[in-house]
Amino acid sequence: MAHAVEPDFQVPDLSNKEIIDKIMYPVETPITLKEKLLFLFFGIAMLWGAWEFWQQTQRGLGVTGLNVPVYWGWYIVTFVFWIGVAHAGTLISGILRLSGAEWKSSVTRVSEVITLFTLPMAAAFPFIHVGRNGIVFFMLPYPNFRHLWPDFRSPLMWDFCAISTYTIGTLVFVYSTLVPDLGILRTRVTGWKRTLYTILSWGWRGTQAEWKRAKEAAALCSVLILPVVFSVHTIVGMDFAMQKTPAWHETIFGPYFVIGALYAGVASAVITMALLRWTLPFKDIIQTIHFDYMGRIFLCIDLAWNYMLFNDFMPHFYAHDANVMNWFKDWLFGHYAPMFWIMFCTNFIIPTCCLIFKGFRRSPLGMFFLACGVTLGMYIERVLIVVEGAETYNGLVRNVHMYFPSVTELSVIFATFCFVFAGIMAFIRIFPIIPIWEMLETKSRQRVETIAGKKLVFFKWGE
C-alpha cells in the first residue's frame, strides 16, 4: 500500500551518499575561526556568570534585586522560560513520529537537541535561586539518618521530580534515535570521534532485528514522553496556582502554561532550523516546505495561547476583584503597560496576521524574525506573571520598592543562554543534527508519479 501526500514535500533528489555527505558536513569539516571566536565568547560569559554566582553564594541574595514582596525575580522567570523552550523537542518529535509525518526527519533531532541543553539550565535555577545552596539536597526524595524527609508539599519538590523525569526521558529519546546513525557513520570518522561513535553505537550491525528494535524504541519513547511533557509544565504552572497571591491563584494556569511552553518551544525550533539552513549546506535538507508546515503548527498554538490569555483575563474583569484589578490595570495602563503591549503584538497580532499567508510561512527569513519576536514576547509574559503579579499583591508595599534585576542576576542568566548556544553548536560539530537513517528510510519509500498531468508523491507504508 501507499499513500499520497502534497507534492510540495519531497525527499531531496540526491543520492544516498550525497545526503549523508551534506548531513555530515559540520561533523567532518574543521571548526572555522568564527566558531572558535563564538566558543571563546560563550566560555568567557559562562565563567563570568559562574564568578557572579560565587559572589552570590558568599554574600547572599542581597546582591540580587529581590525585595519585599518580590521574592521571585528573573531567576524564576528564566526557569519557566527554559522549561517552556525545552518543550520544543520531545513534543514536536513525538507527535510527528506518531502521526507518521513524512517531513519529520528535518525537524525531529533539531528539536530534541534544543531540549537536551535547555533542560539542565532550567534545573539549575532552583539551585541558583534557593539562596542557601548548601542545603539544596533537601529537594532530593531520600530518607536520611536524621529521619528528615523533604516537604512533598513544596513546589521545589514537584519541580525536582518533574524535571528529573523529563531529563531522563529526553536522554533516552535522543540516544535511542541516535544509535543507528552512529553505527552507520563510525567508519566515516577518524580519531576520537570514531572511538566515541564505536562506544555509543553498542556494536550496531544493522541487522533486521536491530532495525526493528530501533524503530520500536523510537515509537515507544514517543508515546511515553508525551504525558511527561504535559505534566512538567502543568507542575510549573501549579508552582504559581497553588499560592494565594491573586495574580497567581488561577485554575487555568496548568493548561495556560503548557500552551505557552509549546509556543516558545516551536519558536526556538524555527529559529534553529533557519540558522542551520543559512550556515550549513542544508537547503536541500531543511526546505521551505518545512517552514510552511511548522508555520501551520505555529498558527494553531498562537490561537490556542491567546484563547487561554483571554480566558485568564475575562472572568477577573467581570468580577472586578480589587486585588486582581490592580494587577490587571498595571498590565494594561501602569508601569508594565509597554511590556504588555509588546507581548500582545509579538505573540498575537503580528503572528496571526502573518501566519495566515502561505507565502510568509515559506519565507525562512520572515519565520525567523517572527519566531524571535514570539520568543521575546514569551519571556516578557513570564516577567509579567512572576514579577508584576508579586508587586501588585501587597497594598502596603505596592509600588514602593520596584524590582529590577541586578548585574549578578543578568550575568548568571546570560551565562545560561551562552551554555545553551555553545552546547547546541558543539553537538552539531560532534553528532549529525539530522537523523540520517530516517531520511534514507523515507527516501526509500518515496515514489513520484504523474497522473493526469499532475505530479503526485507517494510513500509506501513501512515505518
**Grid cell listed for 6:** 502534497
Could you read off the pLDDT of 190-239 as tens digits, one per residue? 888 888 888 888 888 878 888 888 788 878 887 888 888 888 888 888 88
Q: What is the mean pLDDT of the chain?
A: 82
- With CA atoms as reference, report the closest residue to 78 among 413, 449, 427, 441: 413
- DSSP for 6-61 reads -TT----SS-HHHHHHHHTHHHHSPPPHHHHHHHHHHHHHHHHHHHHHHHHHHH-G
Residue 34 domain-assigned (yes or no): no
Residue 28 domain-assigned (yes or no): no
pLDDT confidence tier of residue 415, bands split at 50, 70 and 90: very high
State the pLDDT at residue 3: 47
State the pLDDT at residue 419: 94
Is the pLDDT at 267 greater than 70? The verdict is yes
Using a pLDDT cut of 70, give the percent of the chain over it.
88
Could you read off the pLDDT of 60-87 as tens digits, one per residue? 888 888 887 778 888 989 988 998 888 7
| Mean pLDDT along residues 247-268 | 85
Is the pLDDT at 133 greater than 80? The verdict is no
Q: Is 99 exposed, middle or buried (0-12, 13-18, 19+ CB in 10 A)?
A: exposed
Give the CATH number for residue 221: 1.20.1630.10
Looking at the DSSP assignment, which residues form a beta bridge with residue 342? none
| Mean pLDDT along residues 450-461 | 66
Could you read off the pLDDT of 26-59 as tens digits, one per residue? 888 888 899 999 999 999 999 999 999 998 888 8
Position 412, amino acid: V
pLDDT confidence tier of residue 453, bands split at 50, 70 and 90: low
List Cβ neighbours of 238 (8 Å cut-off, separation of 6 or more).
155, 158, 253, 254
Is the pLDDT at 99 greater than 80? The verdict is no
Using a pLDDT cut of 90, give the percent of the chain over it.
20
Is the pLDDT at 125 greater than 80? The verdict is yes
Total domains, the chain = 1
Highest mean pLDDT among 333-337, 377-381, 382-386: 377-381
State the pLDDT at residue 146: 57
List Cβ neighbours of 72 (8 Å cut-off, separation of 6 or more).
66, 129, 386, 387, 390
Highest mean pLDDT among 19-23, 104-108, 439-443: 19-23
pLDDT confidence tier of residue 1, bands split at 50, 70 and 90: very low
Residue 12 domain-assigned (yes or no): no
Long-range CB contacts (within 8 A, 24+) of 330-339:
330/388, 330/391, 330/392, 331/384, 331/388, 335/388, 335/399, 335/402, 336/384, 336/388, 339/380, 339/383, 339/384
Separation of first and last alpha carbons in the chain: 12
pLDDT confidence tier of residue 148, bands split at 50, 70 and 90: low
Order the strands of the 2-5 sheet from edge to edge. Answer: 2-5, 454-460, 446-451
* Range of the structural domain that residue 399 is part of: 46-420
**Grid cell listed for 381:** 509574559
Residue 29 domain-assigned (yes or no): no
Residue 445 domain-assigned (yes or no): no
Q: Cis before residue 143, ω within 30 degrees of 0?
A: no
Is the pLDDT at 138 greater than 80? The verdict is no
Residue 458 domain-assigned (yes or no): no
Could you read off the pLDDT of 297-329 as tens digits, one per residue? 889 999 999 898 888 888 877 877 776 777 777
- Alpha-carbon span 259 to 319, nearest angstrom: 25
Residue 427 domain-assigned (yes or no): no
| Mean pLDDT along residues 377-384 | 90
State the pLDDT at residue 46: 94
Of residues 241 and 463, more confidently modeled: 241
Residue 308 domain-assigned (yes or no): yes
Angle at 420 between CA 416 and CA 426, to 5 degrees: 135
| Mean pLDDT along residues 267-278 | 91
